[in-house]
Amino acid sequence: MSTNNQLYVIPSPYLKAPLSYNRMMLDKCLAVLVLALSGIYFWGMPALVTVLCSALVALVTEYTAWKFMGKEPKLQDYSALTIGITLALFLPIGVPLWVVALGSIFAILFGKMAFGGIAYTPFPPVAVGYAMINAAWGKYLSPGDIAIETELVDPLTELKSFGIDSIELTFTDYIMGNQLAVIGATSLGVVLAVLAFLLVRRVLSIGIAFGYVIGITLFSYLAYMSDPTLYADPGFILSTGTVLLCLVLLTDFATIPTSCLSRTIYGFAVGAIVIFLRCYTELFDGAILAILLGSFLSPYCDMIRIKKLSKGGY
Amino acid sequence: MKKTLQRIDYTASTKIQVLEPPSYYTFMLDAGYTSAVKKKEEVVIGDIIATCRNTHLYSSCNGIVESVSEKAIKITPHEESTKEQISPLSFKTMERSAQIEYLEANGIDSLWRNTKNVQVCIINALPTDAVAVQYMPFLFAEEKETLEHGIETLRSLYPSARIRCAVPKNANISMQSVEVVEYAKTYPYTLTPFVKQELEGQDALGVLTLSLIDLWRIGSIARSGKPLTETILVVNNAVVRCPVGYPLTSLLERLSISVDSVAGAVSNGVMNGEPLCTLEGGVLPHFYSLHTFKKEEIPPVTDDPCVSCGFCTSVCPVGIRVHLLNQYAERTMFEACQEEHLEACIECGMCDYVCITKRPIMQYIRNAKQHTKKMLPMG
């Protein structure tokens, strides 16, 4: 206390829960870092270069944007770093670095900073950056393009080109990462472990994960039942990488509904859109774009009111 | 989260401590009070020294007014007073309206003047704060006689009313003269609107609610026939009987709390109480708790934007969509606030407690309430 008995005053309550946004962002940053490290383990130097390029460009872009806006840069909330690393997770190795850099710039500038920061963005910034490079330079984004350099196969390209019967990968292959996939989704085992960590730390909501998995399972089962030779079964869809990896994108609070029930419905709807895009478009993997489209539904899902207003307050 | 909110020990055997008289008394005038005494004037216990509409501030000592300012009145005790002592009123024989008026003058403003309308009278003896509640069982154990006087007064004020007392479950509290109801829910459902709703139903009419400390105050006035010049308050983990005007610094020193280490303090509950900006003042009559904090214990508050995580909405006991309301309030969209049921907020502080970006949500809401009051047409 100072000499004239002045106290620090904050508005009550003087008791706060320990959970903080910075801690949640740190958890998320650690989670994507683990996924990036697993990608570097499987793919070596090219993956490391992609991740570093994406992360550094994201940090520099955000720093410049804050300076341009005349505000103090807020890089310490891990948001820019997380966006940069996460974007790299959805890219295969071999993508030209200028494409990676442009994706990262788009994600930060048009996905985040154009709206005023992470709290105001209507779409996951990573999905915005990915959508941009997918639209402009989509030919670089398929893991199948590097198939000539390796004996591994890309199950999604195989499925789209030759049908479900051509795929010979086993569940162990998916778990251990013996497949061609994007950097973050090579090993299903690592993806599942990271998602479990995010669930435990309350960064990923149970409702959204549950709804998403149920949505995908149900609609892929319906598609599979309609034509088993053309469409994959739910087990296959959930085993291949990006579908589950996309749950990392559904942790941006500003872009998802707020209550558990509305989050479950939202997850279910996004899951349905994933299967729709896979079945009726030419996309190999529509998951990340499904999340971008699903963000439009978020405010509508949020209109569902679960709790009745209690008259106790009147 | 719940572990932090339930630091209440009903079995603790702390006694109500009685403090030695201080070397001076300070009566703060910051709540709209105007002084009714002059410098060097002699006062005795029970003299009106300040007024605010119908409410008075009474001297809690015999002494001489040392200084009067806009902020405070300082009185030095002087036992060999030449002024005649105030004789006790025969409170119990007074008319009902005069009794209520006298209680209101002592700051008990929750009583109804129309005595016929009261069907049920609920006394809320539940923890009305997450921490500052330890004294409830001590009042039952050590101040039972005063409480009985309070109940007797209530009975005479509202003869046709049923008196019910909500107590915590397993607290082993019994009172022969009233219906004791055990209530299992925890904070914030222990706040009076919820207790009333639970005990009497949502649309019940004629339900008067009263806190246990107010019952003690009524009993204290009825028993002594004198104005209220002391209060019982919880100071961190101690319970003290303390005269009004007792300097806060002396109070902390007597309880072995180092004044130099105190960087923040809040009265009447950590969840929705009133923060103090200085320790220069004294104990006010409506104080029932005082909690002090070291610098590192004061939680952070930021003006970071709301990230719409929805935790506030999920814990709101009323069911308000707080994630929307707090953002409307921040952007001064007061009409939108009213559409989001601003007036239903009971200010329990749970939204603020769980906020991950540490925003002052309750302050935004209180600000919006002040503005919407101004927006209402006069009358």
Cβ of B278 within 8 Å of Cβ of A307? The answer is: no
Residue B299 has pLDDT above 60, yes or no: yes
Those residues whose C-beta lies under 8 Å from the C-beta of residue A215, and which sit 6 or more positions away, are A267, A268, A269, A270, A271, A272, A274, A275
Quick one: B215 and B159 in the same domain? Answer: yes
| pLDDT the model gives residue B183 | 86
The percentage of chain B sitting over the pLDDT mark of 90, rounded to a whole number, equals 37
Question: CA of B317, closest CA in chain A: separation in Å?
Answer: 8
What backbone phi and psi angles, to 5 degrees, belong to B101? -60, -45
Quick one: B259 and B211 in the same domain? Answer: no
Question: CA of A314, closest CA in chain B: separation in Å?
Answer: 6
Distance CA B8, CA B155 (A): 31
| pLDDT the model gives residue B379 | 35
Bridge partner residues of B58 (DSSP):
B48
Cβ of B363 within 8 Å of Cβ of A8? The answer is: no
Closest CA to B28 of B8, B55, B50: B50
> C-alpha dihedral over A264, A265, A270, A271, to 10 degrees?
70
Distance CA B279, CA B305 (A): 33
Please check whether residue B362 touches A, CB under 8 A: yes
Residue B3 belongs to a domain: no
Cβ of B197 within 8 Å of Cβ of A310? The answer is: yes
Distance CA B291, CA B129 (A): 12
Quick one: B47 and B100 in the same domain? Answer: no
Substitution target in A1, A24, A251 with the highest count of B β-carbons within 10 Å is: A1
Model ipTM? 0.85
Residue B56 has pLDDT above 50, yes or no: yes
Q: Where is average pLDDT lowest: A52-66, A277-291, B52-66?
A: A277-291
- Kindly state the average pLDDT of the residues A165-179: 69
Chain A and chain B share a number of CB contacts under 8 A equal to 170
- Kindly state the average pLDDT of the residues A5-23: 88
Residue B302 belongs to a domain: no
**Domain termination site, one of B173, B195, B223:** B223
**Over A97-131, what HEC string results?**
HHHHHHHHHHHHHHHCHHHCCCCCCCCCHHHHHHH
Query: A120: which chain B residues are within 8 Å (Cβ-Cβ)?
Result: 305
Quick one: B151 and B262 in the same domain? Answer: no
Query: A253: which chain B residues are within 8 Å (Cβ-Cβ)?
Result: 307-310
Distance CA A297, CA A270 (A): 9
Which residue of chain A is at minimal alpha-carbon distance from B302?
A10
| pLDDT the model gives residue A72 | 86
Angle between helices A125-137 and A287-294 (to 10 degrees): 120
Structure token pair of residue A156:
């999604």
| Helix, strand, coil shares, percent, chain B, to 5 | 30, 20, 45
Quick one: B282 and B318 in the same domain? Answer: no
Quick one: B161 and B242 in the same domain? Answer: no
Please check whether residue B330 touches A, CB under 8 A: no
pTM: 0.86
Cβ of A12 within 8 Å of Cβ of B362? The answer is: yes
| pLDDT the model gives residue A288 | 85
- Kindly state the average pLDDT of the residues B56-66: 91
Angle between helices A45-68 and A97-111 (to 10 degrees): 40
Q: Which residue has the higher pLDDT, B202 or B70?
A: B70
Q: Where is average pLDDT lowest: A176-190, B7-21, B353-367?
A: B7-21
**Domain termination site, one of B200, B223, B246:** B223
Quick one: B98 and B203 in the same domain? Answer: yes
In Å, what is the CA distance from A84 to each residue of A144, A241, A258, A265?
Answer: 23, 19, 25, 29
**Domain termination site, one of B223, B252, B281:** B223
| pLDDT the model gives residue B378 | 47
| pLDDT the model gives residue B1 | 41
Residue-range domain boundaries for chain A: 22-140, 149-301
| pLDDT the model gives residue B2 | 44
Question: CA of B89, closest CA in chain A: separation in Å?
Answer: 38
Q: Which residue has the higher pLDDT, B83 or A58?
A: A58
Note down the domain range covering B358: 311-374
Across the interface, of A4, A259, A313, the residue whose CB is closest to B193 is A313
Residue B4 has pLDDT above 50, yes or no: no
Quick one: B325 and B358 in the same domain? Answer: yes
Quick one: B257 and B214 in the same domain? Answer: no
Across the interface, of B269, B318, B354, the residue whose CB is closest to A309 is B318
| pLDDT the model gives residue A28 | 95
DSSP chain A: --TT-B----PSP----S--HHHHHHHHHHHHHHHHHHHHHHH-HHHHHHHHHHHHHHHHHHHHHHHHTTS---GGGSHHHHHHHHHHHTS-TT--HHHHHHHHHHHHHHHTGGGTSTTT-SS-HHHHHHHHHHHHHGGG--GGGGGGG-S---HHHHHHHH-GGG----HHHHHHT-S---GGGS-HHHHHHHHHHHHHTTSS-HHHHHHHHHHHHHHHHHHHHH-TTTS--HHHHHHSHHHHHGGGGGG-GGGS-SSHHHHHHHHHHHHHHHHHHHHHSS-S--HHHHHHHHGGGHHHHTT---SPPPGGG-
Across the interface, of B259, B266, B323, the residue whose CB is closest to A14 is B266
Cβ of A307 within 8 Å of Cβ of B362? The answer is: no
| pLDDT the model gives residue A59 | 96
Question: CA of B313, closest CA in chain A: separation in Å?
Answer: 8
| pLDDT the model gives residue B202 | 76
pLDDT band for position B13 (cuts 50, 70, 90):
low
What backbone phi and psi angles, to 5 degrees, belong to B9? -115, 105
pLDDT in tens, A66-100: 999 988 888 888 999 999 999 999 998 888 999 99
pLDDT in tens, A40-68: 998 889 999 999 999 999 999 999 999 99
- Kindly state the average pLDDT of the residues A200-216: 92
In chain B, count H helices and then E strands: 12, 17
pLDDT in tens, A223-239: 888 888 778 777 777 77
Give Cα B129 distance to the centre of its chain. 10
| pLDDT the model gives residue A151 | 60
Cβ of B271 within 8 Å of Cβ of A5? The answer is: no
Residue A163 has pLDDT above 70, yes or no: no
Residue B146 has pLDDT above 70, yes or no: yes
Quick one: B185 and B292 in the same domain? Answer: no
Substitution target in B3, B71, B266 with the highest count of A β-carbons within 10 Å is: B266
As for how many domains chain B has, the answer is 3
| pLDDT the model gives residue B3 | 42
